[in-house]
Amino acid sequence: MSTTNRLNVTPTVTTLAVIKTRLAGAIRGHKLLKKKADALTLRHRMILKSIAKAKLALGDAMRDAHFAWTRAKHAGGDGIKYAILDGVDVAAVRVRASEDNVAGVKIPKFSTRATGEDTRRMDLTGLAKGGTRVQEAKRSYAKAIELLTELASLQTAFVTLDEAIRTTNRRVNALENYVTPRLQNTVKYILSELDELEREEFFRLKKVQAKKKKDLEERELAAAQEMQAEALVDEEMKTMFDGVIMGEGGRGAGGNLIELEHDADLLF
C-alpha cells in the first residue's frame, strides 16, 4: 500500500491502538462539526430572511423620515435646522454592542439605547411654528435608527456566520475526504502486516515442530537399532555360553574351552 494514502508508521499493536483512537476521535469530530455546520446554516438562513424583511422595513422608514423632515422644514422654515442643531449637545441614542453565541461561534449584536439628554431642550424646539412636524420627524428618524441598527447587526452576523460556515465545511471535508480515509488505510495496513507476521510466526513454529518431531523419530530409530544390536550380541553370547556348558564331559564337566568339537579316542 502506498504511503500517500496512509500514515508512515511502524506496524505494531501499540501503534494500532493509537491509530484506532485517533480514528475514533476523527469520526466523532466529523459528526460534531457536521451538526455545527447544520446549526450555523439554519441560523444563516433565518438571518437572511430577517435581513430581507429589515431592508424592506428600513426603506419604508427612511422614506417616511425624509417626508417628515420635508414637512417639518416646510412648516418651520429653513431656520428650523439651526434651531435643532443648537438644541443638541450630546447624542440622544447610543449603540451598544454585545455578543451572541451560536454553536460556539460568537456573533456581534448591536442594540440602541436612548440617553434622554435632549428631551427637555428638544421639547421647546419649533415652539413658534412647526413643532408638531419636528416631533414627527424625530420619531420617524428614531425608528429608522433602530431599524438601521438591527440591519447592521443582522448583516454583521450574516458575514460572521458565512465565514464560520466556510471554515467548518472545510474542516468537515478535510476530515471526511482526507484524515479519516488515511487513518482507515493505516489501520488496514497495520492489520495486514500483523496478520502477515502472525502467519510467518505460525509457519516458523510448524517448521520447528516438524524438525523436533523428525529429530525425535531419528533418536527413537537409533535407540531401537542400538537395542536390536545389543539383543543380537546378547543372543550370540548366550549361544556361545550354552556351547561351552554342553561341551566335553557332559553337564558340569570341564570340557575343552578352546575347541567345541573333540577328537575321537585313540586306542594303543
Closest CA to 138 of 162, 121, 160: 121
Which of 127-141, 147-161, 247-261 has the largest mean confidence?
147-161
CA of residue 222 relative to chain centroid, distance: 65
Query: In DSSP terms, which residues pair with 93 in a beta bridge?
Result: 114
| pLDDT tens digits along 33-66 | 999 999 999 988 999 999 999 889 988 888 888 8
Angle at 212 between CA 206 and CA 216, to 5 degrees: 145
Q: Is 129 helix (H, G, I), strand (E, B) or coil?
A: coil
Residues 42 and 48: their CA atoms lie apart, in Å, by 10
DSSP 263: P
Kindly report the pTM of this predicted structure: 0.61
Residues 114 and 149: their CA atoms lie apart, in Å, by 13
Residues 103 and 40: their CA atoms lie apart, in Å, by 7
Q: Which has the minimum average pLDDT: 138-147, 193-202, 204-213, 246-255?
A: 246-255
Confidence band, pLDDT 50/70/90 cuts, at residue 27: very high
Please provide the CATH number assigned to the domain covering 9-193.
1.10.287.3240
Whose grid coordinates read 471526511? 176
- Given this model, what pLDDT does residue 4 score? 66
Yes or no: say if 62 and 144 are a contact pair by the CB < 8 Å rule.
Answer: yes
Closest CA to 158 of 96, 83, 105: 105
Residues 22 and 31: their CA atoms lie apart, in Å, by 14
| pLDDT tens digits along 148-199 | 888 999 999 999 999 999 999 999 999 999 999 999 999 999 999 888 888 8
